[in-house]
Amino acid sequence: MAKNNFDFKAVEKKWINFWEKEKIYKFDSKSKKKIYAIDTPPPTVSGKMHIGSAGSYSQMDFIARFMRMRGFNLFYPFGTDDNGLATERLVEKSKKVLSRDMPRDKFIKLCLDYLKKENPEFIKGWKNIGISCDWDFYYSTINAHSRKISQWSFLDLYKKKRMKRRDAPSMWCPECKTGVAQVEVEDKNVPSTFVDVKLKIGKEDLIISTTRPELFPASVAVFYNPKDKRYEHLKGKTAKIPLFDIEVPILEDERTSMDKGTGIAYCATFGDQTDMEWQKAYNLPIKEAISKDGKMTKIAGKYKDMKVKEARKKIIEDLRKGGFLVKQEKITHPVNVHERCGTEIEFVKSKQWFLKYLDLKKEMLKWGAELNWHPKFMKVRYDNWVKGLRWDWLISNQRHFGIPFPVWYCKKCEEVILAREEDLPVDPLKDKPPVKMCPKCKSKEFIPEKDILNTWFTSSMTPTIAIKLTDKKTQKKLFPMNLRPQAHDIISFWLFNTVLKSQLHFKKNPWKDVTISGFVTLKGEKMSKSKGNVVTPQEVTDKYGADALRFWAASSKLGKDFDYQEKDVITGKRLITKLLNASKFVFMNLKNYDYKKLKELEKIDKLFLEKLDFIIEQATRNFEEYNYSMAKSGTEKLFWEFTDNYLEIVKKRVYSGDRNKKKSAQYTLYKSLLTFLKLFAPIIPFITEEIYQEYFKKDEKIKSIHISNWPEAKNPKSANDFDFFCDLLAKVRQTKSSAKKAMNAECVITLTKQNKKALEGMLDDFKNVTNAKEIKEGKFNVEFIEQ
């Protein structure tokens, strides 16, 4: 291990192989140890790992490794989330096929084959940053095991009367041509035109403002606020919509805001959420102006088949020509778009499956409150989400690739025919329904459900999917799991839905604790491909190694966004080098060392060990509270004191001290270094394993540091005379520095009587480290001995 050729890549590879071969991270279902179960986030196989994932998976791994050393039997599975668009695209691209052109089960098979081939490479990315999952407990969210559980979830919820199929307006993406759930919709500011249009009420004009004149053919009413004096006289009258000559009633409703536009809102089915509420509240007719592919329908007359924006333009044009246009104004306003493709959401009538849950808001809040959130304030996002829910969960997608609904319909009476549990997983497109005839109408013809379950419907089952990988007896012990680690962007997606499912199925939260990681930014900005400010974990590990990357990830607290800073990675690299060199020094001086013959510890050694005990205690508490960054920084701080001060202090003693004094130092060195390694092991697993194996294993016997016992504090002292010693040492160093002398310049030191007394038992060490020939008593002074 010469100074410049520490080959971290070879070292990392060596230990990854070793851990795997020796099954160091194996979950032992027969063990009597207490279980600690983690619901690991299954990443999407999409090629390259993002540094944000590298960061948050590292943070999760710090906890996992700590718990393992702390004596828990760790259930730490790993999955990949492959039932979504990302995998579909990836497979289509690499196999040069189109999923739509082939039977679903065949495409799924293709995906599974692809995963089987590519997965080792993909998973390697996680192994490379030292993630210590038990890779034997692996799942893919599209494999038969997951399909079975996801479909079972549907059946169970159907039986619990939570599943409803409705033919009603719902959010629709004209680009992806599928219904979308509320969670899949996000805001986007887009430019638009606010137009003021004249409606006729008899001979009177009524001005309305709208951004969506293309919905005029679907007009069903006009509203004003009951408090609005301006329009009181219109009550009961009708207004005429220009271009389409539709007469609509003028109604009052308090949802109309008086200060928006002219205070008159026109209602078309379905322009937005309020339109839909109005439709229901006043039992207005349903008119569809926009079709599923985002084009105008026949009720739009001459605008039929035009795309929405095209029709809008044309209609504005025609309104102007007809003299109905009073004013138009360019604005930018937020609209709902599909988070996948950025396309503006329309409300379109279609048959969709919903998980009914709006009646459960109160319970949902309670479930959220029962979780231990780390950090606490992240719970607010869960609450916000629940309070803002307006739609039942739309779980059907009109897409081809994914997990099928285990459902057929009677062709004649539309009765829902469910698959039998024992037949799961099924694909209705290929498999026959479990009945020969409809139990209701005796018809013998059935139609398969073509839709697929939304990916989150499956992802929200990860605890069950993971747990069911074990044997029956173990399963009971694993639920609820201990921890769900994840990032904050998917609290409303993954976390919320998992809690919901677990509660509906099992009446229990799926886990006790939740840790929420922050986001990685670069110069304060979110990294994104479009901005071109992406740093990949590969380039970091190539340059500095996985431990350095993890060290950086450990410098940020849970819940806090953290900026990628190369200097922090470099600081980690420095620590690693220091650990290596300190170990080299320690063991250079430990030849033929036998601690058993040690009589008594020197005072300074004892003091240092007390401080170390304090750090053990602190780090343990911090790790237990998932506060790995504090644990790390405390350990780090004392470790630098260890190398900069303690090693300097005992140097001469180990070189040439008398027997017991030397042994005392040796004992302290051995003990301290091993403790530091263990405290650092969850954060930087590679270098700690390397040093452990090289120097400690032969005496410690345990196969790997990562399954060795977490250190115990015997006699912790937060502050003691070790600090006093170091302060005094610093004072001498300061004097030497300002006198422009070398640190090892020979000198004679004068200390006050009090200080000298405090150094009792450590005076020789003090002389050694300061290279003082003599310690006199008096006013503090350092005299230099001229050469």
Partner RNA sequence: GGUCCGUUAGGCUAAUGGUAGACCCUCUCGUUUACACCGAGAAGGCGGAGGUUCGAUCCCUCCACGGACCACCA
Q: CB under 7 A: which stretch of 87-95, 110-118, 352-360, 565-573 binds RNA? A: 565-573
Pick the closer one to RNA by CB: 88 or 641: 641
- Of the pair 240, 411, the CB lying nearest RNA is at 240
Cβ proximity to RNA, 186 vs 712, nearer residue: 186
560, 659, 757, 773: residue in contact with RNA (rule CB under 7 A) = 560
By CB under 7 A, name the one of 98, 327, 421, 655 that touches RNA. Answer: 655
Taking CB under 7 A as the rule, does residue 70 contact RNA?
Answer: no
Segment contacting RNA by CB under 7 A, of 153-161, 357-365, 386-394, 676-684: 386-394
Candidates 442, 457, 511; CA nearest to 155 is 457
What is the spatial distance between Cα 348 and Cα 169, in angstroms, rounded to a whole number? 5
571 in contact with RNA (CB under 7 A): yes
Pick the binder of RNA from 237, 304, 651, 697 (CB under 7 A). 651
Q: Which residue has the tokens 């829902």?
A: 416
- Which of residues 114, 585, 724, 784 is near RNA by CB under 7 A? 585
CA angle 395, 397, 403 (to 5 degrees): 85
> Interface with RNA by CB under 7 A: which range of 312-320, 455-463, 468-476, 561-569?
561-569
**Does 780 engage in binding with RNA (CB under 7 A)?**
no
180-188, 393-401, 608-616, 763-771 -> range binding RNA (CB under 7 A): 180-188
CB 404 within 8 A of CB 453: yes
Residue that is written with structure tokens 């976390």 in the block: 495
- Say whether residue 14 binds RNA (CB under 7 A): no
List 83, 256, 291, 618, residue binding RNA (CB under 7 A): 256
- What residues form DSSP beta bridges with 246? 241
Report phi then psi at 238, rounded to 5: -125, 155
Q: C-alpha dihedral over 203, 209, 212, 217, to 10 degrees? A: -20
124 vs 637 by CB, closer to RNA:
637
Nearest CB to RNA, comparing residues 187 and 370:
187
54 and 537 in contact (C-beta within 8 Å)?
Answer: yes
Measured CA to CA, the distance from residue 463 to residue 130 in angstroms comes to 23
**558 forms part of the interface with RNA (CB under 7 A):** no
| DSSP state for residue 327 in the 8-state scheme | E
Kindly determine how many residues on this chain lie close enough to bind RNA according to the rule CB under 7 A: 86
Residues within window 606-625 making contact with RNA, judged by CB under 7 A: none
Minimum CB separation of residue 692 from RNA in Å reads: 17
Residue 629 makes contact with RNA by CB under 7 A: yes
471, 477, 479, 481: CA torsion to nearest 10: -110
Burial (CB count within 10 angstroms: exposed 0-12, middle 13-18, buried 19+), residue 547: buried
Contacts to RNA from residues 501-540, by CB under 7 A:
524, 526
Choose, by CB under 7 A, the member of 86, 201, 207, 335 that binds RNA. 335
Instruction: Indicate whether 783 belongs to the interface with RNA (CB under 7 A).
Output: no
Nearer to RNA, 175 or 272 (CB): 272
User: Of the candidates 127, 165, 381, 399, which one interacts with RNA according to CB under 7 A?
Assistant: 381
Nearer to RNA, 20 or 383 (CB): 383
**Interface of this chain with RNA, residues 261 to 300, rule: CB under 7 A:** 261, 264-266, 271-274
**Smallest separation (angstroms) from RNA to the CB of 344:** 10
3-state secondary structure of 298: helix
The only residue of 104, 127, 573, 706 in contact with RNA, by rule CB under 7 A:
573
556 binds RNA (CB under 7 A): yes
Structure-token match 């219109």, residue found = 234
Question: DSSP assignment, residue 709?
Answer: P
CB neighbour class for 278 (10 Å; exposed up to 12, middle 13-18, buried from 19): buried
* CA–CA separation, 343 and 660 (whole Å): 77
CA separation for the pair 452, 394 (Å, rounded) = 11
Pick the closer one to RNA by CB: 24 or 251: 251
11 binds RNA (CB under 7 A): no
Structural contact between residues 522 and 554, judged by C-beta atoms closer than 8 angstroms: no
Q: 565 or 715: whose CB is closer to RNA?
A: 565
* Site for RNA, residues 198 to 237, rule: CB under 7 A: 208-212, 223
Q: How many CB atoms lie within 10 A of CB 97?
A: 14
CB of 183 to RNA, least distance (A): 7
Is residue 672 a contact point for RNA (CB under 7 A)?
no
Q: How far is CA 633 from each of CA 52, 358, 552, 556, 721, rounded to the nearest angstrom?
A: 21, 45, 11, 10, 22
Cβ proximity to RNA: between 137 and 680 the closer is 680
Q: Shortest Cβ distance from residue 685 to RNA (Å)?
A: 18
User: Is there binding between residue 472 and RNA (CB under 7 A)?
Assistant: no
Among 328, 633, 693, 720, binds RNA (CB under 7 A): 633
- 662 near RNA, judged by CB under 7 A: no
In 3D space, the residue among 527, 525, 531, 557 whose CA is nearest the CA of residue 539 turns out to be: 527
Q: Which of residues 106-135 bind RNA (CB under 7 A)?
A: none
Sole binder of RNA in the list 33, 574, 773, 776 (CB under 7 A): 574
Among 103, 285, 301, 334, binds RNA (CB under 7 A): 334
For RNA, the closer of residues 375 and 434 by Cβ is 375
Window 714 to 773, contacts with RNA (CB under 7 A): 730, 733-734, 736-738, 740-744
185 vs 504 by CB, closer to RNA:
185
Q: Tell which residue, 575, 549, 557, has the closest CA to residue 628.
A: 557
283: which 2 tokens? Answer: 């039992």
Listed residue (295, 327, 318) closest to 308, CA to CA: 295
Please state the closest distance from residue 2 (CB atom) to RNA, in A.
8
How far is it, in rounded angstroms, from Cα 681 to Cα 643?
A: 18
Crossing angle of helices 144-159 and 496-506, in 10° steps, is: 60
End-to-end CA distance of the chain: 37
Asked if residue 582 binds RNA (CB under 7 A), the reply is: yes
648 part of the interface to RNA, by CB under 7 A: yes
Angle at 688 between CA 683 and CA 689, to 5 degrees: 115
Token pair in block for residue 459? 């992802």
Which of the ranges 573-581, 600-608, 701-709, 751-759 carries the binding residues for RNA, by CB under 7 A?
A: 573-581
Among candidate residues 459, 471, 419, the one with its CA nearest the CA of residue 142? 459
Distance CA 231, CA 223 (A): 10
